[in-house]
Structure 1
Amino acid sequence: MTYRLQQLTVRHLGPDGPVALHALDLVIEPGAQVALIGPSGAGKTTLLATLACAHQPASGNFTVLGVDPWTLTQAARHRLRARLFLAPQTPPLPPRQRVVTTVLAARLPHWTLWQALSSLFKPREPRAAFDALARFGLGDKLYARVDRLSGGERQRCGLARVLLSSAEAFLVDEPLSALDPTLSQLTLTALQQEARARNATLVCSLHQVDIARANFARIIGLRAGRIVFDAARENVTDAMIAALYLNESMEAPVAAFHDSPARLAVGACL
């Protein structure tokens, strides 16, 4: 799944709303695994939603597989979105539904209406749901109700859907926010292994900078809706990280990165 962004600007709340992403230039090639880091409000969630074709840009060029999704018909754009999987930090899971049904919802784009309705009463592929949950340490929750899960369990339940989808791009927002270190590594490993196995693109926003640097070959630092650096992890220094997370009133050190070698070409790490 190839993404190309050229001078892309995205606004909140319509064409006259505040700017969320400022003139981004970005290329993400098929099979790339990219970590997005940056302070709260940097634009990470908005960028993921834009890549998922959920936010229409205000200006600039945006293509997915060489196609501008916003020039397609609604039906064609819907088919394109079916090839993408956006996993929000807090997945909107039906509270009274069983976990098996929630996870199998990832199959809905491939089922007829009758198959989808019948699966509500008798799950069609419980073994597939179990296998997906087991990779996130949730195999024993197959027939639990969603509202009986902890926050971290609900988060992993939502991610298990990724494994049952046919997505070519995993766009994952803060998947480790409710997890302890052991479960964090288990979860990230499952996502990365699945992406690698199907040559899917993985773009993952993280607040855990150490985990991003340890597990992703390419790291993009966002701040105030702008790309501060886009670099191979071996070129991401402690000084760059410190500048990225400086207090908002201290803009000068961050702005200096825009004209420095820190904003590197990343072809070697794709």
Structure 2
Amino acid sequence: MTIQLHNISVHHSGAARSTLALRELNLSVAQGEQLALIGPSGAGKTSLLHTLACALTPVSGSLNIFGGDPWQLSSSERHALRTRLFLAPQTPPLPPRQRVVNAVLAGYLPQWSVWQAMRSLVRPITPEIAYEALSRFNLQDKLYARVDRLSGGERQRCGMARALVSKAEVFLVDEPLSALDPTLALQTLAVLQQEASKRHATLICSLHQVELARAHFTRIVGLRDGRIVFDAARQDVSDTMIAALYRNSEKPELPEADSTDAVLVPNAVPPRC
């Protein structure tokens, strides 16, 4: 198994220490597996992704990634582990004056030295790789555009291009389609899944678009109140199960598109200790 969680409990980031985001959660994910996380807002999807990225420390239970507990490693060893993980938060910062080429090449940061990173800011080291990644999202013409000149949907796809540049073996992606119209959402999801399959990487993706999750992922994990309500193959996930998962919450749906996409930005590099 690539990932194993046993009775994991995690506090909300920045919240009162008595507030738990995850409660005695158990989950196992094999290398190369692709699964969707669904559930109402506040269910714990983002906290789970950040826990897997070693950005949140469990308060109880055990976490095993690539055969070891990341919190038993030294800081440098944990940083090395994070080079194998790619976290794409829903709304991470992208420096507004940064060029798209630099934003995409930031996917290399876990592997680069400080000198390489600084050098690339002045003169991008491998712009052709950024161009190729952007082209898979039809953004190649934005290579040297400034990030603050992009629409929300373009920023989101820029973040996904960064994932393609990384050397990650696990993609942890939080709401990658929230700023995209239905056509772009399908294209973006297809590229992520194709890339994960190509490199036999694990893909764990949180989605509010339940029908996309059911149509494109073979395994679906439903979370509510920090607990797993169900973990099942998609053919075993019934409408009744979905209704129970979202009871008394807003019905999930595919967002409508507008002429400017939307306003959300993704990013990539898991934080260091």
Fold match by TM threshold 0.5: yes
Greater shift, 101-110 or 224-233, is seen at 101-110
Deviation string 1:150-178 (CA, Å, 9 cap, x unpaired) is: 11111111111111100000000000000
Find the aligned partners of 1:35 and 1:194 in 2 and give their Cα distance: 16
Please say if residues 132 and 163 of structure 1, whose CA atoms lie closer than 8 Å, have aligned partners that are also in contact: yes
Q: What is the 5 A alignment of 1:155-170?
A: 155-170=156-171
Q: Does residue 18 in structure 1 map to residue 23 in structure 2?
A: no
- The one-letter amino acid paired with 1:122 is R
Find the aligned partners of 1:241 and 1:158 in 2 and give their Cα distance: 30
Q: What is the 5 A alignment of 1:212-223?
A: 212-223=213-224
3-state secondary structure, aligned to 1:192: helix
Find the aligned partners of 2:221 and 2:204 in 1 and give their Cα distance: 10
Task: Report the CA distance between 1:191 and its aligned residue.
Answer: 0.4
Find the aligned partners of 2:74 and 2:33 in 1 and give their Cα distance: 28
Structure 2 gap segments, 5+ residues each? 250-273
Paired residues, number:
248
Find the aligned partners of 1:205 and 1:177 in 2 and give their Cα distance: 10
Percent sequence identity over aligned pairs: 65
Deviation string 1:73-129 (CA, Å, 9 cap, x unpaired) is: 111111111110000112311100000011111112233333222211211111100
Greater shift, 23-32 or 117-126, is seen at 117-126
TM-score by length of 2: 0.88
Please say if residues 4 and 28 of structure 2, whose CA atoms lie closer than 8 Å, have aligned partners that are also in contact: yes
3-state secondary structure, aligned to 1:110: coil
Residue 2 of structure 1 is matched in structure 2 by 2
Q: Does residue 44 in structure 1 map to residue 82 in structure 2?
A: no
Higher Cα radius of gyration: 1
- The one-letter amino acid paired with 1:2 is T
Please say if residues 105 and 161 of structure 1, whose CA atoms lie closer than 8 Å, have aligned partners that are also in contact: yes
Please say if residues 83 and 111 of structure 2, whose CA atoms lie closer than 8 Å, have aligned partners that are also in contact: no
3-state secondary structure, aligned to 2:63: strand
Please say if residues 91 and 155 of structure 1, whose CA atoms lie closer than 8 Å, have aligned partners that are also in contact: no
Task: Report the CA distance between 1:194 and its aligned residue.
Answer: 0.5
Find the aligned partners of 1:15 and 1:82 in 2 and give their Cα distance: 30
Q: What is the 5 A alignment of 1:105-254?
A: 105-247=106-248
3-state secondary structure, aligned to 2:179: coil
Find the aligned partners of 1:197 and 1:41 in 2 and give their Cα distance: 33
Find the aligned partners of 1:51 and 1:84 in 2 and give their Cα distance: 9
3-state secondary structure, aligned to 2:108: helix
Relative to its length, the structure with more helix (as a share) is 1
Please say if residues 91 and 158 of structure 1, whose CA atoms lie closer than 8 Å, have aligned partners that are also in contact: no
Task: Report the CA distance between 1:247 and its aligned residue.
Answer: 1.0
Task: Report the CA distance between 1:14 and its aligned residue.
Answer: 7.3
Find the aligned partners of 1:31 and 1:117 in 2 and give their Cα distance: 33
Task: Report the CA distance between 1:15 and its aligned residue.
Answer: 8.5
Greater shift, 89-98 or 40-49, is seen at 89-98
Find the aligned partners of 1:41 and 1:129 in 2 and give their Cα distance: 34
User: What stretches of structure 1 move > 3 A for 4+ residues in a row?
Assistant: none
